[in-house]
Amino acid sequence: MSNAAKIRVGLNGYGVIGKRVAAAVTLQEDMTLAGVSDVTTDWRARTIVRNGYRLFSATDEAAASMRKAGLAVAGSLDDLLANADVIVDCTPKRIAARNVDHYRRRGLKFILQGGEKHETTGHSFVAESNYASALGRQATRVVSCNTTSVVRTLTALKRAGLLRRARGTLLRRATDPWESHEHGIMNTLVPEPAIPSHQAPDARTVDPDLDVVTMAVAVPETLAHLHCWSVQMTRAASKDEVLDAFRQSTRIALIRIADGLVALNSVKELMADRGRPHDNMYEVALWSDMLHVQGDEVFYSYMVDNQAIVIPETIDAIRALTGTVEDASESMARTNASLGLETTLI
């Protein structure tokens, strides 16, 4: 594909999610990374330049301090926006919402992440559930890591005609590894104060038909989230039938305790051994041998790599907004192939 025909993607905010989105964009044959804007001047900004990306300053103050720090600045955020067909905003929670008016005034397509509210874009995105309704829109929000996993798994059961209602408990990692010197809890567990926790209502911003309730607990580790679910099905079904429903998703990988994948750390180690960048696991890793069916109820548990799961969704959201690929399965197949997603991890 010629460069002129590629989707020009601008990235604002090169943190945990932004750096992974940037790397994923560069792997897409139909996309080019127009540049990356941020406000930092330390090793993070230097990594942007070192990776060969054009660095833009998100604010006037950042422009001055980046130049003072000797960084090669290609221009301002506005300069980046002028050279992009779509902007992916991966700035911290609530900062992205402040950029929305600016993007709208420029008539630019934009994607926000799960830290922002549904109302900021009026559309919330999970590729396997509602790619079609994002086609040609100006904006969407890729929902949070936990919500993405909830919608992926419940959509698989729903498509198989098995889903009546779902109740889940989420054990949430305390903070991200790179900032664990600053935040995070130790030697305690902190339940979220309200039931349902925000992930269940958030899942319904993608699919309003889901009957889902979640509770959440923050736990003192940084590897990933662990979910435990109890689902009432529409009828009694066999374990194989339920597993087959999950197998229909290209973004759920079945793993087994019998293979030694007994905990979050062993699955994470597997991702490192597989040579995934940043040990990324883009799939929901669901324990097939642990899954238990009792009449019309199914119980299961899975792991969510919070830092990686939303990356394929963000790539698909770019194609959906720009309308370059109308078929969800085609976009997902391209994304999956470029990032190396698998439904069997070993």
Site string for ligand NAD, 128-167 (x = CB under 6 A): ----------------xx----------------------
Q: Which stretch binds ligand NAD (CB under 6 A): 13-21, 248-256, 261-269, 287-295?
A: 13-21
14 binds ligand NAD (CB under 6 A): yes
Nearest to ligand NAD of 87, 254 (CB atom) = 87
Local structure of 74: helix, strand or coil: strand
199 binds ligand NAD (CB under 6 A): no
Nearest to ligand NAD of 126, 160 (CB atom) = 126
39 binds ligand NAD (CB under 6 A): yes
Burial class of residue 4, CB neighbours in 10 A (0-12, 13-18, 19+): exposed
Alpha helices in the chain (DSSP H): 16-26, 43-50, 60-68, 77-82, 95-105, 127-134, 145-159, 199-206, 239-247, 264-273, 310-322, 328-339
Q: Which stretch binds ligand NAD (CB under 6 A): 10-18, 47-55, 258-266, 277-285?
A: 10-18
DSSP 4-15: GGSEEEEEE--S
90 binds ligand NAD (CB under 6 A): yes
254 DSSP β-pair partners? 286, 344
168 binds ligand NAD (CB under 6 A): no
120 binds ligand NAD (CB under 6 A): no
CA–CA separation, 24 and 280 (whole Å): 11
Give the nearest distance from C-beta 267 to ligand NAD in angstroms.
16
Nearest to 18 by CA among 331, 275, 307: 307
Give the nearest distance from C-beta 305 to ligand NAD in angstroms.
9
- Tell me the residue type at 232: Q
- Taking CB under 6 A as the criterion, the residue among 65, 106, 159, 176 binding ligand NAD is 176
306 binds ligand NAD (CB under 6 A): yes
10 binds ligand NAD (CB under 6 A): no
CA–CA separation, 339 and 334 (whole Å): 9
Give the CA distances from residue 191 to residues 201, 203, 214, in Å, rounded to whole numbers and listed in that order.
17, 20, 12
Give the nearest distance from C-beta 187 to ligand NAD in angstroms.
22
Neighbouring CB atoms inside 10 A of 284's CB total 24
Nearest to ligand NAD of 149, 336 (CB atom) = 149
- Taking CB under 6 A as the criterion, the residue among 25, 38, 130, 242 binding ligand NAD is 38
For residue 162, the number of C-alpha atoms closer than 13 Å in the C-beta half-sphere is 24
CA–CA separation, 217 and 311 (whole Å): 24
CA–CA separation, 178 and 65 (whole Å): 23
285 binds ligand NAD (CB under 6 A): no
Give the nearest distance from C-beta 228 to ligand NAD in angstroms.
19
- Taking CB under 6 A as the criterion, the residue among 7, 9, 31, 58 binding ligand NAD is 58
Token digits for 114? 């799960």
**145 classed as catalytic:** yes
Name the residues annotated as catalytic. Answer: 145
Give me the residues that bind ligand NAD (CB under 6 A), please.
Answer: 12-18, 37-40, 44, 58, 90-93, 95, 113-116, 144-145, 176, 306-307, 310
